């Protein structure tokens, strides 16, 4: 049963509208850094083909990254982009026992989500807890 917590069968989970709506009202997102035309939350977005990891992130960014092994790269990019001035709000699995969580996520503001969320298109709630991590852009001197 524990294998489901680490399953990579589908690493892309579409953001629930209620979670995005609340955060968008607070932050006013201008860029969805990893999306596709069917699930994007912003007018401006990067697709898998465009590879958001090699693009410049600016403004106020929404990030619901792929949840597989590559999540560390997405979190590193989010943190670096904040240091360059962008604000990035991340919907991620709450994997507090992982190295990437301690090395990167804990540098941001963490908001734990109560209960398990149901991603769009899923017939049941996620088999893992989730969190919002916010990296606020730092103004350049």
Q: How confident is the model at residue 78 (pLDDT cuts 50, 70, 90)?
A: very high
Number of structural domains the chain divides into: 1
CA pair distance 81, 140, nearest whole angstrom: 12
> Residue 125: how many CB atoms within 10 A of its CB?
12
Instruction: With respect to residue 98, please indicate whether it lies within any of the assigned structural domains.
Output: yes
- Say how far apart CA 58 and CA 137 lie, in whole Å: 9
Are 117 and 125 in contact by the 8 Å Cβ rule? The answer is: yes
Rg (CA), the chain: 14
| Residue 139 confidence (pLDDT) | 58
At 129, the pLDDT band (50, 70, 90 cuts) reads: confident
Domain extent at residue 55: 2-135
- Measure the CA dihedral 39/44/49/51, to 10°: -110
Comparing 8-17, 79-88, 89-98, the range with the smallest average pLDDT is 8-17
| Domain CATH number, residue 60 | 3.40.50.150
Tell me, yes or no, whether 140 lies in a domain: no
pLDDT greater than 90 at residue 60 = yes
Binned at pLDDT 50, 70 and 90, residue 77 comes out as very high
Q: Give the Å distances, CA to CA, from 120 to 19, 32, 38, 80, 85.
A: 11, 16, 11, 29, 31
The pLDDT value given to residue 25: 98
User: Per residue in 24-42, pLDDT tens?
Assistant: 999 999 999 999 888 888 9
Is the whole model's pTM more than 0.95, yes or no? no
- 56 in a domain, yes or no? yes
In a domain, 141, yes or no: no
């Amino acid at each position: 049963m524990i294998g489901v917590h680490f399953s990579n069968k589908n690493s892309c989970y579409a953001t629930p509208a209620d979670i995005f709506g609340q955060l968008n009202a607070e932050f006013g997102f201008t860029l969805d850094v990893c999306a596709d035309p069917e699930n994007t939350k912003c007018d401006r977005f990067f697709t898998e083909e465009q590879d958001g990891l090699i693009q410049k992130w600016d403004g106020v960014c929404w990030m619901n990254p792929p949840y597989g092994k590559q999540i560390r790269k997405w979190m590193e990019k989010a943190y670096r982009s904040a240091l360059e001035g962008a604000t990035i709000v991340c919907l991620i699995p709450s994997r507090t026992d992982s190295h990437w969580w301690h090395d990167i996520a804990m540098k941001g503001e963490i908001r734990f989500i109560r209960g398990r969320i149901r991603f769009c298109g899923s017939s049941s709630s996620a088999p893992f807890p989730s969190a919002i991590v916010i990296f606020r852009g730092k103004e350049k001197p």
